Chain A
Amino acid sequence: MNSYLSSVNAGYFYGIVAVVLTFIMAMCLVFCVKSYRAGVAIGMEEKALKKVITSSMTFTLLPSISILLGVIALSGTLGVPLSWLRLSVIGALQYELNVADIAAQGVGLSGLNLAELNIGAFVTIALVMTIGILGGVVCCIFFLKKYMNKLQGKGKKEKQVEEAKQVKQVKQVKQAEQDDFIEDFIDDISDDFSADEKDRSFGTYATTAMFVGLCAAYIGSYVGKAMPSGGADLMPLFVAGVAALCMAVFEFLIQKKNYLVLENFSLAASMLVAMTAAVLVNMVM
């Protein structure tokens, strides 16, 4: 076995991942038990809570298998333990692969290429993948309490400011208006980005636009690589084309034929079909 692959699939690494996942599972269990008890305490029926548990379990089974396919796709270059960890904690397949590729370029490789990878590059890639995805976690640690309080008590503060203005108590107005910079900042951007019941906000489109840009850059580079000036390497464009074709079939079945269950598998299955096509073409050529 390749020495790089032996290092990234070492037994101790599985052990470390198991410890982290045990901790996070314990966290989930604690939250679940506390919420269940709280539900009973405020008068919710246990029957309803049990139904939520069983339905959440069955609802998750199929998508979980698609995540497992993602672990297989990722494990060929990054090894099983890191792929297992990354797709069990915080990440998602599209993020992990994209960030791993960017990080590989950051350490001077041409991309996520097995022939170029080494353990030094691997630990740097793993660090970028880990820290790059912590944005949501950091937001939760520092802003979740303020944000949730803001959402629940938004009307209350506006009313206080209005009352203070009415009695012309300038000090009170200033105090209320200068309340907390972070709260106001969160308030302003949440108005622009949070999803409204009736209309989609720009936040929804912004994320889509960001990913459109991301995909455009990569597809553009595959088009460039396929040209004689770019090395006439047709394989990336071919693989991307097969994956897109496969995804188009899935989209047709999901959107037009209403096979909604396929939605969970479309990405991972399209990738695996395209990767298989790469192997077959390589054998033929």
Chain B
Amino acid sequence: MSNYTNNSVSEKEKKEFFEEFNNGLHRIGRFTLIAAMIMLISIPFIVGAVNGVMPSMSGFLRGFATVGLIYIPVAIVEFLVYTPMLGVGGSYLSFITGNVTNMKIPCVMNAKDIAKTEPGTPEHEIVSTISVAVSAITTTLVIIAGVIMLVPLQPVLQAEALLPAFNNVVPALFGALGLKYFLQSPKIAVVPLALMSLLCIFVPAAISQTSLLLIPSGGLALAIGYVLFKKGKL
């Protein structure tokens, strides 16, 4: 239990109050998440309607088939792994505001250390929810301030000379991210990296099909990871 808790409330009263509180969070959480989801999904349609176009369903299905294969399992794993740390309120907020691994989890861990709470306790749930909420509000405000400063810079950012920068934003991402992940798991990385490079060298048609290459490459890495994990070599 937290070092900051006094004992004027009995454990039973606390438990009953907390169950009711959590039920309330579930109700609001579900309602707001559904409402936010509807808003988010409607945006591409609104922008399309204003411009006289609609999202292409065949293009959507082709894109989503690959994205879903990769990110739905990741989402399920993240849900299972992170929700015990985040608690009820923290989970609803974290999964709608994003940046879970790189921001919300470290922030909750920091708050947990400050308040000296243990995961699974009412105190931890409360601290975690407050910490995620404050973190999300802070991020949103910082980004709003940044966007306000960014708007006048639009002509500069859209200058012809900067075109190579924005056309190479994806290689920049995967170069940086690749090094980070390859260093983390070199044993998993060697075979998929070598195979994908060889495939693209000897079958040039594969180069333009990166979205399809992700499936065998991801599957191979997962299989290698699982075998190494089972053998205790990770």
Contacts and interface: CB of A to CB of B under 8 A. Distances in A.
Given A24-B97, A194-B80, A208-B181, A59 B106 contact: yes
Interface stretch (A115-123, A165-173, A174-182): A115-123
A152 B122 CA distance: 11
Contact of A127 (B55, B87, B176): B55
Contacts of B9: 41-43
Contacts of B133: 28-29, 31-32, 35
A36 to B, nearest CB: 6
Interface centre among B43, B139, B163 (most CB of A within 10 A): B43
Interface in A14-73: 16-17, 19-21, 23-25, 27-32, 34-36, 38-39, 41-45, 47-49, 51-53, 55-57, 59-61, 63-65, 67-68, 71-73
B81 A52 contact: no
Query: What is the predominant secondary structure among interface residues of chain B facing chain A?
Result: helix
Interface in B133-183: 133-140, 142-144, 146-147, 150-151, 154-155, 157-158, 161-183
B129 A44 contact: no
Query: What is the predominant secondary structure among interface residues of chain A facing chain B?
Result: helix
Interface string A140-170: 1101110110011000000000000000000
Interface in B194-225: 195-201, 204, 206-211, 213-214, 217-222, 224-225
A89 B96 contact: yes
Contact of A56 (B4, B18, B98, B135): B135
Q: Say which size band chain A's interface belongs to.
A: 35 or more
A158 B196 CA distance: 47
A162 B173 CA distance: 52
11 contacts: A34-B24, A35-B129, A52-B114, A89-B96, A127-B45, A136-B100, A148-B91, A193-B76, A206-B77, A223-B197, A279-B162
A227 B201 contact: yes
A27 B93 contact: yes
Contacts of B75: 133-136, 138-139
Given A55-B111, A144-B91, A246-B176, A207 B192 contact: no
Contacts of A136: 75, 78-79, 95, 100
Nearest to A69: B146
Contacts of A103: 59-60, 63, 67
Contact of B168 (A17, A218, A230, A275): A275
Q: Say which size band chain B's interface belongs to.
A: 35 or more
A92 B101 CA distance: 9
Interface in B1-60: 2, 4-9, 14, 17-18, 21-22, 24-26, 28-30, 32-37, 39-41, 43-48, 50-51, 53-56, 59-60
A213 B138 contact: no
B95 A140 contact: yes
Contacts of B137: 25, 28-29, 32
A252 B111 CA distance: 28
Nearest to B153: A72
B206 A53 contact: no
Given A210-B221, A274-B176, 15 more contacts: A24-B96, A38-B122, A57-B135, A64-B143, A68-B142, A71-B150, A97-B170, A128-B67, A132-B67, A208-B185, A213-B222, A231-B207, A272-B172, A274-B172, A275-B164
A205 interface: yes
A251 B147 contact: no
A106 B85 CA distance: 36
A213 B214 contact: yes
Given A136-B79, A213-B221, A243-B175, A31 B28 contact: yes
B134 A128 contact: no
